[in-house]
A and B are shown apart, each in its own frame.
Chain A
Amino acid sequence: MIAHASAPRPDTAQLLAGDPFWLIVVKTLGIFVLLVVMTLFMIWFERRVVARMQHRPGPNRVGPAGLLQSLADGLKLAFKEDIRPVLADKWVFFLAPVISCVPAFLAFAVMPLGGEVDLFGVHTALQLADLPVGVLVVLACSSVGVYGIVLSGWSSGSPYPLLGALRSAAQVISYEIAMGLSIVAVILSAHSLSTAEIVNAQQDFWYGIVLIPSFLIYLVSMVGETNRAPFDLAEAESELVGGFHTEYSSLKFALFFLAEYINMVTVSAFATTLFLGGWHAPFFLSEVGGGVLNSGWFGPLWFIAKMMVLLFAFVWLRGTLPRMRYDQFMKLGWKVLVPVSLVWIVLVVCVRALQAGGQTTLNVSIIVGIVVLAILVLVMIIPDRKPASDPNRVMVTGSGYPLPPLDLKVPKAPKRQRRSPVAQAAEPEPTALTPSGVAASTSKEASDGGV
């Protein structure tokens, strides 16, 4: 197998082009079933793990260890009433769950689940499609998924879903920038947009270790991209009820739920593909038995294992971190992740260019380090513009009436004077119409009237 690794591999795309049509159908069904089962499993897994983190058992009644709980929940949802609010736009309300669900499935088509295997007597690769633009397919699918969110919120004809959809859409597109930029360094190293070739390029080392800043940015942005805690601002129950799917019920709601969990699985699989060596065994195991652990049906095993680690991280985050505030969240995306990504890309480009130019690694790192430091300092000394604040400013509303300053001091009620008229008589009469004077006179009148 070691010799095999160094020998020119048969192109995965060519191998997949040899798939007969019935095998494509089988693989398509396989991916569909895998995603649905992963969703059911992930819902159970999340509830169990979060429950353990909170010292309670979690669902354990339906099936062994509660494994069938999510299936039962899904069936229950199917037999609930399908409500369409009066104000909802009929067709868009109908289409939005479909638009949100289909791209979620579609993105998984390009994930290389494993290497070459014999499937029903045909030598093929464990991947549905190996496109020369595989990475773009995944990004495109996540972009199209935003339409489902926006349209569902807009078509519900209700304020909470509208706000939730806007938040969600702004969040997803903001973090898509960071995600897309973090992938650039991987493509620079692999020289390909094909997912299978990116995995093959990671035989010796994982990009998650070599390009660790990219990996970290990707990890943060994948949580933001999927609207998961601590970035689940779109579904902030305390503010927005359920977010964009507040008005949905029955199977339409189930489709949004399905899409969310499939997206989680997809971004984890994508991270595995781009940064964790895909279906390759971990380093210390890849040499065992002449690379037997790197071949055949061991591939999907490693792939699923790596994916599960990332999915566990999702659950772990949810069990650990409180929800972020929206402005903090957007600040993290636009003011931290994007500039760091851009600087990192420039750094990688420069390193590669200098190495190609025959410089030694030490020279390269020194030169690039100085350049990056200079850029970072430049970026960091740009101060945030402070809002001009004038303490004596009188606020004017749109209608032209001046408002009192918002930090108005409410005068103290003169309780002592009211209680003891004798002490009050000893004090000098208020000469000016100060607030306290006004209050005192009114209270005096009130007490007189009372008597």
Chain B
Amino acid sequence: MLEAFEAAAPSSGLDPYVPLVALFVLAAAFAVFSVAAAPLVGPRRYNKAKLDAYECGIEPSPQPIVGGGRMPVAYYLTAMLFILFDIEMVFLYPFAVTSDQLGFFGVVEIVLFIATVGFAYAYVWRRGGLDWN
């Protein structure tokens, strides 16, 4: 039976990413099904207060109407720094994989590269970009 299956589905032609797609489809189907089923399975008892935004104590001001909520600028700074270091990682990984082929040249280059980013890092640190108050 299994041999017949194997013969029916010759295995050599499958892309290595097919399993990833299969898992993605399964997980997405599960998640979408759950989200879609939630309103159908659960009860529905209308109450105006239930549909309000959760509040506690004094009413927040300004109200974060969708898209209009303001946020501390420090988060933007963190996001920018994240991009900076993420790019650094993007360059470090290929170097790490091929470091043996690159030899001494690669070592010098990557140390220079880390030093360059290190200067930017030290600058941000000195200017208080990493502080949260």
A interface residues, Cβ below 8 angstroms from B: 13, 16-22, 24-25, 27-29, 31-32, 78-89, 94, 97-98, 101-102, 104-106, 108-110, 120-122, 128-131, 135-137, 154-162, 166, 169-170, 173-174, 176-177, 180-181, 184, 187-188, 191-193, 241, 246-247, 250-252, 254-255, 326-327, 330-331, 334-335, 338-339, 342, 345-346, 349-350, 352-353, 356-357, 379, 382, 384-385
Given contacts A85-B53, A241-B54, A349-B110, contact A154 B66 (CB under 8 A): yes
Q: Chain B, interface size: which category?
A: 35 or more
Q: Given A157-B66, A353-B107, A357-B104 in contact, is the A385-B16 Cβ separation under 8 Å? A: no
Contact B92 A382 (CB under 8 A): no
Q: A102-B27, A382-B126 are in contact. Are A187 and B97 (CB under 8 A)?
A: yes
State the main secondary structure of chain A at its contact with B. Answer: helix
Chain B, 52-91, contact with A by CB distance < 8 Å: what is the 0/1 string?
A: 1111100010011111010110010011011001100100
| Contact assessment for B66 and A177 in the assembled complex, using a CB-CB cutoff below 8 Å | no
- Inter-chain contact B126/A180, CB cutoff 8 Å: no
B residues contacting A by CB (< 8 A) are 2-3, 5-6, 9, 11-12, 14, 16-20, 22-24, 26-28, 30-32, 34-35, 37-39, 41-45, 50-56, 60, 63-67, 69, 71-72, 75, 78-79, 81-82, 85-86, 89, 92-93, 96-100, 103-104, 107, 110-111, 114, 117-118, 121-122, 125-128, 130-133
Chain B contacts of A16 at CB under 8 A? 16, 19
Q: Which residue of B19, B38, B54 contacts A82 across the interface (Cβ within 8 Å)?
A: B38
Check if A382 sits within 8 Å of B93, measured CB to CB: no
Extra contacts besides A105-B26, A162-B71, A382-B122 (4): CB < 8 Å:
A21-B9, A82-B39, A122-B6, A353-B107
A22 touches B20 (CB 8 A): no
- Contacting residues, chain B, for A24 (C-beta < 8 A): 14, 18-19, 22
Known A-B contacts A81-B42, A105-B23, A327-B132; the reply to A251 vs B37 at CB < 8 A is yes
Q: Which 8 A-B pairs have the closest CB atoms?
A: A158-B53, A105-B27, A327-B132, A187-B96, A251-B38, A82-B38, A129-B19, A353-B107
User: Looking at the complex, which one of A86, A331, A352 makes contact with B99 (CB distance below 8 Å)?
Assistant: A352
Please pick, from A156, A159, A241, the residue contacting B60 in the complex, using a CB distance under 8 A.
A159
Q: Are A13 and B11 also in contact (CB < 8 A) when A251-B38, A342-B118 are?
A: no
In the bound complex, residues from chain A placing their C-beta under 8 Å from that of B122 are 379, 382
Chain A residues whose C-beta falls within 8 Å of the C-beta of B66 in the assembled complex? 87-89, 154-155, 157
> Do B2 and A122 have beta carbons less than 8 Å apart?
yes
Considering the chains assembled together, what is the distance between the CA atoms of A191 and B99 in angstroms?
8
Most chain B beta-carbon contacts within 10 A, residue among A20, A122, A192: A20
**In whole angstroms, what is the CA distance A86 to B3 when docked?**
57
Residues of A within 8 A of B63 (CB): 159
Q: How far is the CB of A279 from chain B (nearest CB, A)?
A: 18
Contact, CB under 8 Å: B85 / A177: yes
Are B12 and A18 interface neighbours, CB within 8 A?
yes
Contacts of B20 in A (CB 8 A): 106, 109-110, 128-129, 131, 137
Q: Which residues of B contact A334 (CB under 8 A)?
A: 81, 130
Bound form: Cα–Cα A156–B35 in Å: 15
Q: List 19 A-B contacts (CB under 8 A).
A: A17-B11, A17-B16, A19-B19, A24-B19, A32-B26, A78-B37, A81-B44, A86-B51, A87-B66, A104-B27, A106-B23, A129-B19, A157-B66, A158-B55, A169-B75, A191-B98, A191-B100, A334-B81, A382-B125
Q: Quick one: which of B24, B64, B132 contacts A330, CB cutoff 8 A?
A: B132
Report if A251-B35 is in contact (Cβ < 8 Å); known contacts: A25-B22, A85-B52, A349-B107: yes
Query: Which residues in B have their C-beta under 8 angstroms from that of A19?
Result: 11, 14, 19
Given A28-B26, A85-B52, A346 and B5 touching (CB < 8 A)?
no
Please tell me if the beta carbons of B133 and A327 are within 8 angstroms of each other in the complex. yes
Determine whether the beta carbon of A173 is less than 8 Å from that of B132: no
**Chain A residue contacts of B67, Cβ below 8 A:** 89, 154
Q: In the complex, which of the residues B3, B66, B133 has the most CB atoms of chain A within 10 Å of its own CB atom?
A: B66
Residues of B within 8 A of A158 (CB): 53-55, 64
Q: List chain A residues, Cβ under 8 A from B97.
A: 187, 191-193
A131-B93 contact in complex given A78-B38, A156-B53, C-beta closer than 8 Å: no
The residue from B23, B32, B132 contacting A98, defined by CB atoms under 8 A apart: B32
Cβ-neighbour of A136 out of B12, B93, B110 (below 8 A): B93
Measured in the bound complex, the distance between the Cα atoms of B88 and A390 in whole Å is 40
Q: Which residue of B lies closest to A178 (CB)?
A: B85
**Which residues of A sit under 8 angstroms from B34, Cβ to Cβ?**
97, 251-252, 254-255
Q: Are A246 and B96 in contact (CB under 8 A)?
A: no
Q: How far is the CB of B100 from chain A (nearest CB, A)?
A: 6
Cα–Cα, bound, A82→B19 (Å): 33
* CB-defined contacts of B117 to chain A, threshold 8 Å: 342
Q: In the complex, what's the smallest C-beta–C-beta distance from A419 to chain B, in angstroms?
A: 40
